[in-house]
């Protein structure tokens, strides 16, 4: 495969780095901290990107994008994650909610939801995991029952990021009991303003807004809120998970922090034990490997050939990189000087990375489930022509 992105992508990367330097404070560590000013930075920066057609660059012009290549959108994704995601929660709408509505939504749903996402105005949350249905998502119990010309949704979701600020929820619920648990599931686009929805934040070391419980008490939705076919939501969700897992370009942040270490440490780099510098070099190599795996999945997605095993292989590589690089970076940060601003910012960035990395092998599907998906893909037999394993 040829993953040379071309001159347009190179120029775009430079443009994004200039914008970040101009619009995002040097000590910014993400939108969801105890300081409300950090969220304000993300909301403002989203508008800046949207005005330049960069927030949803690869989307068609009719939906608010500029028809850029998937590789230009990959550049946007990488630069955002490398710089602590100054889009805030918008990556969810940009990376997979919007593309899924494009592929499976009605014209009315596309008109309603896509322009606000492209303008950076709407925040989405994901109603998938439940107290007894995390990695085994298909065993969920939240139900949607027919009620006249609409539906009534009742149940509980958990670990729902951004639910306290989201305007919409991409919700998976059971609409029928079938022989196989993957059958009888339906996707609903649910407004979070409904009075039957209660959000309870879950305190964690990740900071505000990240984790919540969401309770649905007879929430009424209409047929216009059903995405795709009733009872066939599992196929939509399988596609969503592939987009979501490759859309989180954590390898870019790992690589940026690893590359920064020798420069930040300066003369102190020579005092770092050779064994630790060896592990640092291995982490850089693994960051590049995760990047290339991501590119492989992006190429398959653009050709319409991606399968769960492809996304799982990438996810395994990037989550292990996340945690193991965090350990190496934490040891390197101890050598950074406490008297200079760069060393202070580096230690803060490494600490932020370490806290997030602790959940990497659980979030968006545990690493054990990713291994099962990959194993099933490898054991399913030889590939047929034009088909991904």
pLDDT per residue of the chain (389 residues) written in tens, 0 to 9: 555 677 888 899 999 999 999 999 999 998 888 888 998 999 999 999 999 999 998 899 889 888 888 888 899 999 999 999 999 888 889 888 999 999 999 999 999 999 999 999 999 999 999 998 766 788 899 999 999 989 999 999 998 988 999 999 999 999 998 768 889 999 999 999 999 999 999 987 776 667 899 999 999 999 999 999 999 999 898 877 766 556 678 899 999 999 999 999 999 999 999 999 999 999 999 999 999 988 888 887 777 666 667 778 888 888 899 999 999 999 999 999 777 889 999 999 999 999 888 877 777 667 777 787 788 878 875 544 344 33
> Is residue 230 classed as helix, strand or coil in its secondary structure?
coil
Write the DSSP symbol of residue 205: T
**Alpha carbon distance 313, 229 (integer Å):** 29
Question: What is the phi-psi region of residue 306: left when phi exceeds 0, alpha when psi lies from -120 to 50, beta otherwise?
Answer: beta
**Alpha carbon distance 252, 31 (integer Å):** 18
Ranges of CATH 2.40.110.10 domains, the chain: 125-231
Q: Tell me what pLDDT residue 9 has.
A: 85
Ranges of CATH 1.10.540.10 domains, the chain: 7-122
> Is 210 in contact with 159 (CB distance < 8 Å)?
no
Q: Tell me what pLDDT residue 243 has.
A: 63
Taking the alpha carbons at both ends of the chain, their separation in whole angstroms is 17
The bridge status of strand 168-174 relative to strand 124-127 is parallel
Residue recorded with tokens 């991904």: 388
Architecture label for domain 7-122: Orthogonal Bundle (1.10)
CATH number for 248-379: choose from 2.40.33.10, 1.20.140.10, 3.30.230.10, 2.70.98.40: 1.20.140.10
> Is 63 in contact with 56 (CB distance < 8 Å)?
yes
3-state helix, strand, coil in the chain (%, to 5): 50, 15, 35
Write the DSSP symbol of residue 286: H
- Return the closest-CA partner of residue 307 out of 361, 367, 381, 221: 381
CA dihedral of 163, 319, 281, 206, whole degrees rounded to 10: 30
> Is 151 in contact with 144 (CB distance < 8 Å)?
yes
- Return the closest-CA partner of residue 184 out of 143, 240, 243: 143
Q: Which two structure tokens, joined as six digits, stand for 269?
A: 């780099």
Q: Tell me what pLDDT residue 378 has.
A: 80
- Return the closest-CA partner of residue 166 out of 121, 129, 207, 206: 121
Q: Tell me what pLDDT residue 389 has.
A: 32
> Is 65 in contact with 53 (CB distance < 8 Å)?
yes
Write the DSSP symbol of residue 142: -
Q: What CATH fold (topology level) applies to the domain 125-231?
A: Butyryl-CoA Dehydrogenase, subunit A; domain 2 (2.40.110)
DSSP strands (E only) in the chain? 124-127, 143-147, 150-157, 168-174, 185-191, 197-201, 212-222, 226-227
């Amino acid at each position: 495969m040829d993953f040379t992105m071309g001159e347009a992508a190179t120029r775009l990367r430079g443009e994004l780095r200039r914008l970040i330097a101009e619009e995002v404070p040097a000590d910014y560590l993400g939108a969801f901290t105890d300081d409300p000013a950090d969220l304000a930075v993300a909301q403002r920066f989203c508008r800046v990107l949207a005005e330049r057609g960069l927030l949803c660059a690869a989307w068609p012009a009719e939906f608010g994008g500029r028809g850029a290549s998937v590789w230009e959108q990959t550049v946007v994704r990488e630069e955002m994650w490398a710089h602590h995601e100054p889009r805030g929660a918008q990556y969810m709408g940009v990376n997979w909610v919007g593309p899924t509505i494009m592929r499976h939504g009605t014209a009315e749903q596309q008109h309603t939801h896509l322009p606000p996402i492209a303008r950076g105005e709407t925040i989405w949350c994901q109603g998938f995991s439940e107290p007894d249905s995390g990695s085994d998502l298909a065993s969920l119990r939240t139900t949607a029952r027919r009620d006249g010309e609409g539906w009534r949704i009742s149940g509980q979701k958990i670990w729902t990021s951004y639910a306290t600020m989201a305007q919409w929820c991409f919700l998976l619920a059971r609409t029928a009991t079938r022989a196989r648990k993957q059958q009888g599931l339906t996707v609903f686009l649910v407004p979070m303003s409904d009075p039957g929805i209660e959000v309870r934040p879950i305190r964690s070391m990740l900071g505000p807004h990240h984790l919540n419980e969401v309770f649905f008490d007879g929430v009424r939705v209409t047929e216009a809120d059903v995405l795709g076919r009733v009872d066939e939501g599992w196929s939509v969700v399988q596609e969503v998970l592939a987009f979501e897992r490759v859309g989180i370009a954590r390898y870019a942040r790992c690589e940026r922090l690893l590359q920064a270490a020798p420069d930040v440490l300066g003369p102190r780099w020579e005092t770092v034990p050779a064994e630790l510098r060896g592990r640092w070099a291995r982490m850089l190599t693994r960051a590049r490997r995760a990047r290339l795996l991501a590119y492989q999945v992006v190429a398959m997605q653009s050709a319409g050939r991606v399968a769960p095993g492809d996304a799982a292989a990438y996810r395994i590589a990037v989550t292990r990189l996340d945690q193991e690089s965090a350990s190496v970076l934490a040891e390197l940060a101890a050598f950074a000087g406490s008297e200079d601003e760069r060393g202070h910012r580096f230690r803060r960035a490494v600490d932020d990375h370490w806290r997030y990395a602790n959940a990497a092998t659980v979030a968006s599907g545990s690493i054990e489930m990713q291994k099962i998906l990959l194993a099933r893909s490898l054991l399913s037999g030889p590939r047929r022509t034009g088909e991904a394993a």
